């Protein structure tokens, strides 16, 4: 019954043409060989950190070419703090959340000198613990439904709903459930984050680029920095939505580097599901992120592609292909031809701390595949002289439920469904404490 249900889910998500029956049977996972992150394209072996620097560049390029796509040249060349992205603090409230926090709202305005008059704006919401004595570490992550869903505070600016429609006070007042003010308080344990001395910085991903295949490439920052007529006018290795969203996270980090109340050298980038895939790619693309956290990111995120358990590259290259570069689709039926697999995405963080969270019932995201990515990233961390990067985890067996394991690479699998829970936040905070406090 469950399998059938997932199969239908797959039809809904991806469209008939790209569907395959979903495997939830461990014994049917095909035999596979993972690419060795420590063997360079010329066959030489990585022995030193200097060798790894060279090899890392190769792997990063392979991910750009085959999975997430290259940024437009203009963005690549501009690097961090591009002068065509500006910040305006539009609210600075000294007394938020019943006096426990400072609240700031910062509008990021994206422009393009070659397209005068055109702009994209995104709202970064910041909660900072009120009585901090020094600049605090930060959790930075995108939210799915809008900043106004994180807490019920009526002052939070709402730019777009999930579908990308511009919100007004009138249209927002009609929203119910997860898209209403405070509709997602369950996913953002702001109290726990603040009590533990962290700031929370969050932004609605739809402000940056729409999450719809037929609209994404002709709106948001795609429209600003590219000239696509739609998804199909992209070149094979051009950017997909995950790269666009990841670039947006780096611009939020640019702002944090100017914010005196936080320590921008101590930013943990975190994301759930597709936004977990985005957090991982942001962490790989921007070494300024000190800690990288993936929650239930699954296929195209933390899970190994070659296992073909739950969601697969073939399924994803149906209706969700716009998250990736066009070339990505070519690997749907020959996943073994990818130069990379997702353990190498983890390895791109080395030696920085990376944490992966799975959920037992989230089989679509392949918890075991998420765990194995962590395990197979270990040899790269060892190049940095870290003796037990994944703590006592040396075998493919999943650890016990509801228990955080590892070291610089951290992992847990909790009971329950695809979600972000206070338990997850407790683990992220305890993990971050070890490196950011
Ligand atoms: C779908 C998709 C996943 C994705 C998830 C989400 O289930 O197939 O790849 O992670 O949506 O982002 O919620």
What string of H, E and C letters represents the secondary structure of the chain? CHHHHHHHHHHHHHCHHHCCCCCCCHHHCCCCCCCCCCECCCCCECCCHHHHHHHHHHHHHHHHHHHHCECCHHHHHHCCCCCCEEEEEEEEEEEECCCCEEEEEEEEEEECCCCCCCEEEEEEEEEEECCCCCCEEEEEEEECCCHHHCCCCCCCCCCECCCCCECCHHHHHCCCHHHCCCCCCCCCCHHHHHHCCCEEEEEEHHHHCCCCCCCHHHCHHHHHHCCCCCHHHCCCCECCHHHHHHHHHHHHHHHHCCCCCEEEEEEEEEEECHHHHHHHHHHHHCCCCCEEEEECCCECCCECHHHCCCCCHHHHCCCCHHHCCHHHHHHCCCHHHCCCCHHHHHHCCCCCCEEEEEECCCHHHCHHHHHHHHHHHHHHHHHCCCCCCCCCCCCCCCCCCCCCEECCEEEEEECCCCCCCHHHHHHHHHHHHHHHC
Cα-based distances in Å from 20 to 9, 14, 24, 118, 347: 12, 10, 12, 42, 30
**Active site (annotated) includes residue 160:** no
For ligand 1, the distance from its centroid to the CA atom of residue 296, given in whole angstroms, is 9
Does ligand 1 have an atom closer than 6 angstroms to the CB of 11? no
Does ligand 1 have an atom closer than 6 angstroms to the CB of 274? yes
Question: What is the token pair recorded at 325?
Answer: 């570069």
Cβ-count burial of 163 within 10 angstroms (0-12 exposed, 13-18 middle, 19+ buried)?
exposed
Name the catalytic one among 273, 297, 305, 358: 273
For ligand 1, the distance from its centroid to the CA atom of residue 136, given in whole angstroms, is 32
Q: What is the pLDDT of residues 48-81, one digit of tens each?
A: 999 999 999 999 999 999 999 999 999 999 999 9
Q: What is the pLDDT of residue 12?
A: 44
Q: What is the pLDDT of residues 168-208, one digit of tens each?
A: 999 999 999 999 999 999 999 999 999 999 999 999 999 99
Q: What is the pLDDT of residues 403-424, one digit of tens each?
A: 999 999 999 999 999 999 999 9
> Ligand 1 atom 13: the closest Cα is on which residue?
273
Say yes or no to pLDDT of 14 above 70. Answer: no
Say yes or no to pLDDT of 157 above 70. Answer: yes
Does ligand 1 have an atom closer than 6 angstroms to the CB of 10? no
Q: Which of 273, 297, 332, 369 to mutate to test the pocket of ligand 1 (most atoms within 8 A of CB)?
A: 273
The number of beta carbons lying within 10 Å of the beta carbon of residue 294 is 34
Q: Are the beta carbons of 49 and 384 closer than 8 angstroms?
A: yes
For ligand 1, the distance from its centroid to the CA atom of residue 299, given in whole angstroms, is 8
Question: What is the token pair recorded at 423?
Answer: 């338990």
Q: What is the mean pLDDT of residues 218-234?
A: 96
For ligand 1, the distance from its centroid to the CA atom of residue 211, given in whole angstroms, is 12
Q: What is the pLDDT of residue 8?
A: 40
The pLDDT-based confidence of 19 (bands split at 50, 70, 90) is low
Does ligand 1 have an atom closer than 6 angstroms to the CB of 298? yes
Say yes or no to pLDDT of 319 above 50. Answer: yes
For ligand 1, the distance from its centroid to the CA atom of residue 178, given in whole angstroms, is 17
**Active site (annotated) includes residue 305:** no
> What number does the ligand 1 atom closest to the CA of 277 have?
10
Q: What is the mean pLDDT of residues 243-258?
A: 99
Least confident of 6-10, 97-101, 128-132, 327-331: 6-10
The pLDDT-based confidence of 402 (bands split at 50, 70, 90) is very high
d(CA 287, CA 37): 18
Does ligand 1 have an atom closer than 6 angstroms to the CB of 273? yes
For ligand 1, the distance from its centroid to the CA atom of residue 73, given in whole angstroms, is 29
Cα-based distances in Å from 61 to 58, 64, 215, 294, 432: 5, 5, 27, 21, 28
Q: What is the pLDDT of residues 20-42, one digit of tens each?
A: 689 999 999 999 999 999 999 99
Q: What is the pLDDT of residues 100-127, one digit of tens each?
A: 999 999 999 999 999 999 999 999 999 9
φ, ψ of residue 267 to 5 degrees: the values are -105, 125
Instruction: Report the percent of the chain where pLDDT is more than 90.
Output: 95
Q: Are the beta carbons of 115 and 216 closer than 8 angstroms?
A: no
Question: What is the token pair recorded at 136?
Answer: 């605090």
> What number does the ligand 1 atom closest to the CA of 316 have?
8
> What number does the ligand 1 atom closest to the CA of 418 have?
13
Q: What is the pLDDT of residue 21?
A: 86
Does ligand 1 have an atom closer than 6 angstroms to the CB of 343? no
Q: What is the mean pLDDT of residues 146-167?
A: 96
Over the chain, what is the mean pLDDT? 95
């Amino acid at each position: 019954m469950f399998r059938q249900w997932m199969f239908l889910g797959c039809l809904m998500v991806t469209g008939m043409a790209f569907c395959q029956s979903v495997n939830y049977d461990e014994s049917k996972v095909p035999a596979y060989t993972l690419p060795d992150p420590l063997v360079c394209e010329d066959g030489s072996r990585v022995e030193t950190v200097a060798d790894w620097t060279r090899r890392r560049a190769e792997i990063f390029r392979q991910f750009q070419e085959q999975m997430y796509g290259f940024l437009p040249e203009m963005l690549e060349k501009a690097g961090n703090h591009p002068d065509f992205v500006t910040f305006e603090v539009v609210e600075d409230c000294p007394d938020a959340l019943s006096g426990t926090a400072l609240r700031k709202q910062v509008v990021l305005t994206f422009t393009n000198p070659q397209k005068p008059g055109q702009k994209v704006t995104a709202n970064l919401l910041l909660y900072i613990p009120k009585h901090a004595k020094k600049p605090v570490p930060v959790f930075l992550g995108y939210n799915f439904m809008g900043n106004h869903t994180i807490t019920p505070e009526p002052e939070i600016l709402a730019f777009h709903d999930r579908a990308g429609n511009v919100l007004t006070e009138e249209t927002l007042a009609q929203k119910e459930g997860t898209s209403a003010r405070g509709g997602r308080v369950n996913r953002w344990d702001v109290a726990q984050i603040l009590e533990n001395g962290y700031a929370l910085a969050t932004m609605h991903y739809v402000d940056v680029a729409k999450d719809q295949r037929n609209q994404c490439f002709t709106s948001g920052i795609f429209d600003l920095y590219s000239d696509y007529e739609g998804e199909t006018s992209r070149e094979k290795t051009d950017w997909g939505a995950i790269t666009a969203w990841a670039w947006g996270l780096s611009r939020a980090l640019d702002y944090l580097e100017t914010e005196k109340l936080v320590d921008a050298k101590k930013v943990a980038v975190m994301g759930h599901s597709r936004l977990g895939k985005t957090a991982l790619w942001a962490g790989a693309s921007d070494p300024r992120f000190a800690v990288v956290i993936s929650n239930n990111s699954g296929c195209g995120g933390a899970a190994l592609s070659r296992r073909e358990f739950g969601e697969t590259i073939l399924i994803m290259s149906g209706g969700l292909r716009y998250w990736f570069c066009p070339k990505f689709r070519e690997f749907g039926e020959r996943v073994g031809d990818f130069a990379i697999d997702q353990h190498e995405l983890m390895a791109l963080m080395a030696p920085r701390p990376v944490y992966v969270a799975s959920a037992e019932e989230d089989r679509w995201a392949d918890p075991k595949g998420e765990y194995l990515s962590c395990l197979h990233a270990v040899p790269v961390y060892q190049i940095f002289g870290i003796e037990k990067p994944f703590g006592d985890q040396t075998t493919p067996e999943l650890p016990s439920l509801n228990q955080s394991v590892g070291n610089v690479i951290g992992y847990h699998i909790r009971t329950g469904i695809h979600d972000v829970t206070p338990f997850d936040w407790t683990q992220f905070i305890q993990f971050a404490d070890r490196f950011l406090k």
